[in-house]
Amino acid sequence: MLEVQSLTKNYGRGPDAIQALNGLTFSVNHGEFVSIVGPSGCGKTTLLKCLSGLISPSSGKVIMNGDVIQGPPAGMALVFQEYTRSLMPWLRVDDNVALPLRGKMPKEQVGPAVEKSLRAVGLGSFMRSYPWELSGGMQQRVALARALAYGPEILLMDEPFASVDAQTRAELEDLTREVHREYGVTIVFVTHDIDEAVYVSDRVVVLTNRPTSVREIVGIDLGSERDQVDTRETGDFAHLRAHVARLLMSLDPAKTHTSPEASRSEV
Ligand SMILES: Nc1ncnc2c1ncn2[C@@H]1O[C@H](COP(=O)(O)OP(=O)(O)OP(=O)(O)O)[C@@H](O)[C@H]1O
């Protein structure tokens, strides 16, 4: 459903130009959950911005359902890390979720769509609360509900859980997998956390340093039922996270002597 073909993005021109992306090619199938990991500053956010049509590639293209993306396409929604900046503090939770739907959906469908998505993220009883009355994790659930209410075919998530504590992060990972299944939505998920990428995904796209290309695409054969404790305890999980960690460390000579098993790996 999404094809990234020889995608290149440069910022600026001349000697100061930054080549962020250099000929990225990969595809995302309908209903897949694909994570993107790569070294810091390699261009993950740039890639998501190109996928969402917010910026144009310097060369190459992104194709969604056969059409080249030339601006924000219908059927695509984004969730960012900074949920506090994406929610309107003066609007109640349900009004925040309804806001982007107004004018895009028949009026009588807005209320049911808002309620369905808030229930899907476990916030059915907080519809009339204000965002500032909710915890950080709950606010990020509102941001997820707002993206889902729109009924997107594809959801782009940029380090969505980077600002919450570990327990909340684990809950949000499971919730995202649940709504992925329930809504049948395709997800492209950028994260710095190798364990998270392996835990949530069907495939992990590992990027190189700038100028960035695809280092390897790793299939995550851990089955569809995953559990924060049991799955992470398996040998398959350990093997996959070590493989992704080694790929990333092979890009960074300073880290080649560190054991990938030493700690939860962030890149
Ligand atoms: N608007 C811009 N103008 C100029 N350079 C930019 C712009 N946006 C990003 N860059 C540069 O492009 C490179 C890739 O940035 P980007 O934010 O996409 O990387 P990232 O992998 O998402 O970073 P991080 O790991 O910190 O989240 C960086 O060197 C960044 O400084």
What average pLDDT does this structure show over 243-249? Answer: 94
In the sheet that holds 67-68, the strands lie side by side as 18-28, 2-11, 59-64, 67-68
Model confidence at 145: pLDDT above 70: yes
The tens digit of pLDDT for each residue in 165-187 reads: 899 999 999 999 999 998 899 99
Q: What is the pLDDT of residues 87-127, one digit of tens each?
A: 899 999 999 999 989 888 899 999 999 999 999 999 999 99
Q: Note whether 246 and 261 are within 8 A (CB).
A: no
Percent of the chain whose pLDDT exceeds 70: 93
**In whole numbers, what is the pLDDT of the chain averaged over residues?**
90
- Give, for ligand 1, the residue of 13, 18, 158, 188 to mutate: max count of ligand atoms closer than 8 Å to Cβ: 18
Q: What is the pLDDT of residue 81?
A: 77
Residue 63: other Cβ atoms inside 10 A: 14
Query: What 3-state DSSP class applies to 13?
Result: coil
- Kindly state the tokens that stand for 113: 């769509």
CATH topology of domain 1-37+61-75+159-251: Rossmann fold (3.40.50)
**pLDDT range class, residue 15, cuts 50, 70, 90:** confident
Ligand 1 neighbour 50 (Cβ under 6 A): no
Q: Is 11 in the pocket of ligand 1 (CB under 6 A)?
A: yes
CA distance 153 to 166: 29
Nearest atom within ligand 1 for CA of residue 159 = 27
Domain residue spans of the chain:
1-37+61-75+159-251, 81-151
Distance 22 CA to ligand 1 centre (A): 13
Each residue's pLDDT tens digit, 16-31? 889 999 999 999 999 9
- Identity (one letter) of the amino acid at 136? G
Predicted model pTM: 0.90
Task: Give the tens place of pLDDT for each residue, 43-76.
Answer: 999 999 999 999 999 999 999 999 999 999 989 9
Hey, whose CA ends up nearest to atom 29 of ligand 1?
A: 41
- Ligand 1 in contact with 90 (CB < 6 A)? no
**CB-ligand 1 contact for 209 (6 Å cutoff):** no
Specify the residue with its C-alpha closest to ligand 1, atom 8: 46
- Residue 131 identity (one-letter amino acid): P
Distance of CA 128 to the CA centre of its chain: 27
Task: Please tell me if the CB atom of residue 45 comes closer than 6 angstroms to any atom of ligand 1.
Answer: yes
